[in-house]
Amino acid sequence: MRRSRKVKILATIGPASSEEAMLKKLFEAGADVFRINMSHADHDLMRTLVGRIRSVEAAVGRPIGILADLQGPKLRVGKFVNGKEELKVGQTFTLDDNPELGDSNRVHLPHPEILRSVAVGDRLLIDDGKVELKAVKVDGRSIVATVVVGTKISDKKGVSLPDTELPVGALTEKDRADLDAVLAAGVDWVALSFIQRPEDLAEARKIARGRALLLSKIEKPQAVARLAEIIELSDALMVARGDLGVELPLEAVPGIQKQITRAARRAGKPVVVATQMLESMISAPVPTRAEVSDVATAVFEGADAIMLSAESAAGSYPVEAVATMNRIAERVERDPTYAGIINAQRSEPEATGADAISLAAREIAETLKLSAIVTYTASGTTGLRAARERPQVPIIALSPILATARRLSLLWGTHCVVSEDATDLDDMVDRACRIASEQGFGKAGDRIIITAGVPLRTPGSTNMLRIAYLGSDVRQ
């Protein structure tokens, strides 16, 4: 099955989409990668879902990526005597280390790291920003704050800290247990939540040891401020607009989305745009016009993937949501302005032989109007470099390693095929031509361009270009 678009679709699995038959329908509607949210899935359910996805993969004969999204630290206030309390704007309200039930003047905050880190003037956002507090006095054991916004607070509501960097890592004990479980189950990508600094990736990378690639979710102002460093240590990024919109002004999020997307493209790292893309389709069979424009904007930006959350996980129309996103993406990529916008955002290649080869492959393919760029890749690096160029022609990534093909299913414009490794240069060309023809990328007499590393099976050695004719022994 060949997609008629370059951007990929990442669909979250949940109660509405966990059965194997529904997963197959979602793939057929356009889903390329499936997300398992570990905030809602225990280990047994996760393993069951991975097994079902792999069964669908075998049935459709296409590599399918799996992303496990770790919950990350969940910071919450304690409980109240009455379950909830009324607040007044301007009053003082205290968060402290006293475990007694709260009232209208105070509540327990069971996170000593927050009590030690918040400074006078820092904001604390409760319940997704419905309540905003501003610290006026701190002593390491309590935070006395003024109520700036909001009049209601209740049990166990979440706390966000847009002005405070906490001296704790991004992995909780639950995350460590979940990480071990998803790696053992063979997922392809692991998403890390609430990244604040590049050091937050170190522990996860040490545990993963290359068994899965790491995707950093950018959802905190601290991460935006250190974006370049985080990109360097990440394998991919996600613009997690939900929490970004809590901790930053909503009007700032679209600009930050563009900033993150373009920075990731410059670095050649996949970038996913997520959260509320087709939110109304949780309960309606069609999206709003604004949601269609939102999806289209991400496609015009050249994002590698666009994501569905509750729309596919818990909504009433999961298949329709995926199909709608697929149609929007296809129409945008056919728009006469699309190629020009994508080209205008293209960055200069790095001064490496592999980047120069990828640039040359794109320019030759577009100048000669070739049918496809075929890349041989064992580690996936060659495929990443080819996708970074955002060529107008399709990219066929051939890999002898199934795990590599699954990982590259998140990558813009890349059609992944698992193939035995070539034995020599002639076999490499013959194999590329045969697969391009079989996969529907051209007919006899059409031409493709092939990139690979010589000697063969040498990781990171992309150094060769070859133009070949489909269905013919004539080569150049």
> Do 305 and 366 fall within a single domain?
no
pLDDT of residue 95 exceeding 80:
yes
Q: What is the CATH number of the domain that holds 36?
A: 3.20.20.60
Q: What distance in Å separates the CA atoms of residue 439 and residue 98, rounded to the nearest whole number?
A: 65
Do the domain assignments include residue 393?
yes
> Do 389 and 242 fall within a single domain?
no
What's the count of helices (H) and strands (E) in the chain, helices before strands?
17, 21
- Sorting pLDDT into bands at 50, 70 and 90, what band is 144? very high
> Do 443 and 384 fall within a single domain?
yes
> Do 129 and 195 fall within a single domain?
no
Radius of gyration of the chain (CA): 24
Do the domain assignments include residue 391?
yes
- Sorting pLDDT into bands at 50, 70 and 90, what band is 336? very high
pLDDT of residue 22 exceeding 60:
yes
- pLDDT tens digit string along 265-324? 999 999 999 999 999 999 999 999 999 999 999 999 999 999 999 999 999 999 999 999
- Given this model, what pLDDT does residue 236 score? 98
> Do 281 and 334 fall within a single domain?
yes
Do the domain assignments include residue 1?
no
Q: What is the CATH number of the domain that holds 145?
A: 2.40.33.10
> Do 199 and 301 fall within a single domain?
yes
Following DSSP, what letter does each residue of 242-258 receive, concatenated?
HHHHHHS-GGGHHHHHH
Q: What is the percentage of the chain residues whose pLDDT exceeds 90?
A: 88
Torsion of CA 341, 405, 12, 161, to 10 degrees: -70
Q: How far is CA 161 from CA 51, 109, 158, 164, 391, in A?
A: 38, 13, 10, 5, 41
Number of domains composing the chain? 3
Torsion of CA 97, 98, 99, 105, to 10 degrees: -110
Do the domain assignments include residue 253?
yes
Domain termination site, one of 160, 181, 199: 160
Q: What is the CATH number of the domain that holds 392?
A: 3.40.1380.20
Instruction: List the catalytic residues.
Output: 35, 76, 217, 275
- Sorting pLDDT into bands at 50, 70 and 90, what band is 326? very high
> Do 109 and 66 fall within a single domain?
no
Residue with the larger pLDDT of the pair 52 and 421: 52
> Do 153 and 190 fall within a single domain?
no
pLDDT of residue 23 exceeding 70:
yes
> Do 234 and 291 fall within a single domain?
yes
Determine if residue 113 is left, alpha or beta; phi over 0 gives left, psi from -120 to 50 gives alpha, anything else beta. alpha
Do the domain assignments include residue 476?
no
Do the domain assignments include residue 474?
no
Query: Is the Cβ–Cβ distance between 215 and 193 less than 8 Å?
Result: no
Domain termination site, one of 160, 187, 218: 160
Q: What distance in Å separates the CA atoms of residue 383 and residue 376, rounded to the nearest whole number?
A: 8
Average pLDDT over residues 341-363: 87
Q: What distance in Å separates the CA atoms of residue 215 and residue 261, rounded to the nearest whole number?
A: 14
- Those residues with Cβ within 8 angstroms of residue 201's Cβ, 6 or more apart along the chain or in another chain: 170, 192, 195, 214, 216, 230, 233, 234
- pLDDT tens digit string along 157-191? 999 999 999 888 779 999 999 999 999 999 999 99
- Given this model, what pLDDT does residue 473 score? 47
Give the three-class secondary structure for 465. strand
- Those residues with Cβ within 8 angstroms of residue 33's Cβ, 6 or more apart along the chain or in another chain: 8, 9, 10, 11, 64, 65, 66, 67, 188, 189, 305, 409, 410
- Those residues with Cβ within 8 angstroms of residue 143's Cβ, 6 or more apart along the chain or in another chain: 94, 95, 96, 109, 114, 115, 118, 124, 133, 135, 137
Average pLDDT over residues 398-406: 96
Q: What distance in Å separates the CA atoms of residue 277 and residue 296, rounded to the nearest whole number?
A: 10
- Those residues with Cβ within 8 angstroms of residue 403's Cβ, 6 or more apart along the chain or in another chain: 186, 188
Average pLDDT over residues 40-50: 97
Q: What distance in Å separates the CA atoms of residue 347 and residue 362, rounded to the nearest whole number?
A: 13
* Crossing angle of helices 289-300 and 318-334, rounded to 10°: 50
- Given this model, what pLDDT does residue 476 score? 40
Domain termination site, one of 136, 160, 184: 160
| pTM passes above 0.85 | yes
Query: Which of 37-41, 45-49, 282-286, 458-462 has the lowest average pLDDT?
Result: 458-462
Do the domain assignments include residue 194?
yes
Query: Is the Cβ–Cβ distance between 324 and 27 less than 8 Å?
Result: no
- Given this model, what pLDDT does residue 347 score? 79
pLDDT of residue 195 exceeding 60:
yes
> Do 174 and 297 fall within a single domain?
yes
> Do 286 and 378 fall within a single domain?
no
Residue numbers of the domain that contains 23? 8-72+170-342
pLDDT of residue 26 exceeding 80:
yes
Do the domain assignments include residue 347?
no
**For strand 213-218 and strand 106-108, is the pairing parallel, antiparallel, or unpaired?**
unpaired
> Do 214 and 302 fall within a single domain?
yes
- Given this model, what pLDDT does residue 461 score? 66
Q: What is the percentage of the chain residues whose pLDDT exceeds 70?
A: 98
Q: Is 257 exposed, middle or buried (0-12, 13-18, 19+ CB in 10 A)?
A: buried
Q: What distance in Å separates the CA atoms of residue 73 and residue 285, rounded to the nearest whole number?
A: 34
